[in-house]
Amino acid sequence: MRIIDRRNNKLTTPDDWQAKEPIKIFPCEYRGEKTGDKATCNSCSSRGRQVDVYQCSIHGTCTADYRATGVQWCKRCPVFQEQNQ
């Protein structure tokens, strides 16, 4: 299977997806230390990847770099978005 990576318009395969670096985001004053738990990423090119879960003083827990089922993702947090405008 091959698809076009919309970030750079190149054809990629599932093997290429695992090699991608995490999305870099600004630090959040509410995000704490890693909890030691992992969540399963559900975003398009990283689906199935295990990602770190962090403590969050607003949501309880969050993920910093990837979207995961049942855990707040910093990039979609309204408070985080307001901090980084």
Domain parsing of the chain, residue ranges: 3-83
Q: What is the pTM for the complete model shown?
A: 0.64
Q: E strands, the chain, where? A: 3-5, 10-12, 31-40, 50-56, 60-63, 72-73
The per-residue pLDDT for range 12-29, each reduced to its tens digit, is 555 555 555 555 556 788
A 10 A CB-CB count for 54 gives 21
Indicate the length of the chain as a whole number: 85
Measured CA to CA, the distance from residue 23 to residue 80 in angstroms comes to: 15
3-state secondary structure of 79: helix
- Determine the average pLDDT of the residues in 19-47: 77
